[in-house]
Amino acid sequence: MRTKSFLLSAFAAITAIAVSSCSSNESYTSHIPADAGIVVAFDLGQMLEKSGISDNSSALNVIGSYISEYDSQTLSVLATDILKEPQTSGIDVGSRVFVYTQDNAYSLAGTVTVLFGINDRDLLADNIETFISEEIFDRSGDYYSAEDGNGTVILLYKDYGAVCASTDNEYWGINDALRTLDVDNDITSVNAFGKMASSDADIWGIFELKTLFDRYLYDELNVSPSKLPDFTGAYAYASAVFKESKAEGRCGFLFPSDELKKIKETYGYAKKISGSHLKYLNGDAMAFLVAGIDWEKLLSSDATSLIPGMAIAENMLSTLKGEISFCVNSLELDYWGNPETIDAVFAADASDGEFLGELNAIIGDVRTEGDKAYSFEYDNNKSIYYGFDNGMLYASTSYGDKDGLAKKGNSLSSSEYASAAKDAYIYFGVNIPRFIQVMGDELDDEERLLMSKLKYADIYATDYTDYAVNLYFNGSQNPLETAVALLEEALKMEL
């Protein structure tokens, strides 16, 4: 049996043939064990519906031509027909596809299993065999089965199917796969799974943390478990929803409520951003970072062990009282791609600037620019201007900021994107067109093509354990429609 074709057929049968929203009964999730290390769900029907591929005759023609060119006309016709009419696949197009892993003595992902709904088992089996031009299924029992002899098994039941694979045992076979699906305690009893399964995300996943830390990270980090949160019942999570002109991502950590309360009490050094710094930052900046910090709590915690033991560092940090920000307005790279000149600003809310005298003594050869305003030269007559003004410590590479930061006419406070920084705990945003301009020839044609579809990207903390990641696209298309257009362009180049 041709292993590559076998695996490709399994992948194609699962990923290329759904085009409807998630609404069907997904009772097959009872075959996912509660101790699964990673669980990822794909609402492929919903995603493909958003992509518009079923009605995109141009893209379908190119996909068909590509398959015909590199495989066969029969496969080309089958693939394009299924993309046009998903009910001809045999897959339940109203159910999600789940991928999960289980650990063994050798790996956190010793086995990988894909689960999906079925509405016509015979049709699906016929389609898979057409994909690989080979009859592979034993259809004599309660389930149809096929294996490739290299640790991969396909099982098709009446209403669901599974592709099971061992990552380290080529002798793993049908009986092993059956044991994998025979679950006593299933994932539906796990709160993290229930929370994510009820979301409208196109893609989401959870990652069990305790096993990861117990087996690997405590030793790698060289830290005692008592110094970190209790990861029993804790999961990392991530999700993505594709909307018009925007891809919304969410990620973070899901802890039991009692442990989450302890985390906020113990590690709650963050404060919500008021947005007061935004009016001092250029609205067309290439990138900027703003964070709110409870400095008093931070400096009284064990985290101070990470701070260099110099008195100047302790004196400076003790004057800070709120937000900090760092903004890169522009950047020029040299021939080798290294920063040559930079226009950047740093600011921090502070009670006073009395420690600046100590800092000046350490720097040496400092020029006085005004009351509590100084500068020094570096790297071939370039200067950094710094001081204390209007309740802020500041540092800037711009001469215009030598006496302190002034409010900008076109500031980030009026940016439609940067407004998300207000009430976040930390915020980082990137102006993609400005980034492309700065990078210049450092980007290859493919990178430039992909990034040209974007206009802005950001990531910010909405809570101590929850983060948002957003990509904003040019035009009014759904990002998945853009992805189909890019795929079409790429395939045309190959033909």
3-class DSSP state of 472 = strand
Rounded to whole angstroms, the Cα distance separating 341 from 28 reads 58
Say what percent of the chain tops pLDDT 70: 91
pLDDT of 306 reads: 53
Residue 415 sits at the vertex; the CA angle it makes with 409 and 418, to the nearest 5 degrees, is: 125
| Cβ partners under 8 Å of residue 281, min gap 6 | 288, 325, 327, 345, 408, 411, 412
Q: What is the mean pLDDT of residues 372-378?
A: 91
3-class DSSP state of 308 = coil
Most confident option among 99-108, 214-223, 233-242: 233-242
Rounded to whole angstroms, the Cα distance separating 59 from 437 reads 31
Most confident option among 1-10, 69-78, 274-283: 274-283
Question: Which of residues 326 and 13 earns the better pLDDT score?
Answer: 326
266 pLDDT band, cuts 50/70/90, is: confident
2 pLDDT band, cuts 50/70/90, is: very low
Residue type, 423: D
Q: What is the mean pLDDT of residues 401-427?
A: 91
Do 329 and 345 touch, CB atoms closer than 8 A?
Answer: yes
What mean pLDDT, rounded, does the chain reach?
86
Query: Has residue 133 got a pLDDT over 90?
Result: no
pTM of the model: 0.86
Low-confidence winner among 270-274, 313-317, 429-433 (lowest mean pLDDT): 313-317
Question: Which of residues 266 and 174 earns the better pLDDT score?
Answer: 174
170 pLDDT band, cuts 50/70/90, is: confident
Question: Which of residues 221 and 441 earns the better pLDDT score?
Answer: 441
Do 429 and 413 touch, CB atoms closer than 8 A?
Answer: no
pLDDT of 52 reads: 92
pLDDT of 303 reads: 59
Question: Which of residues 228 and 472 earns the better pLDDT score?
Answer: 472
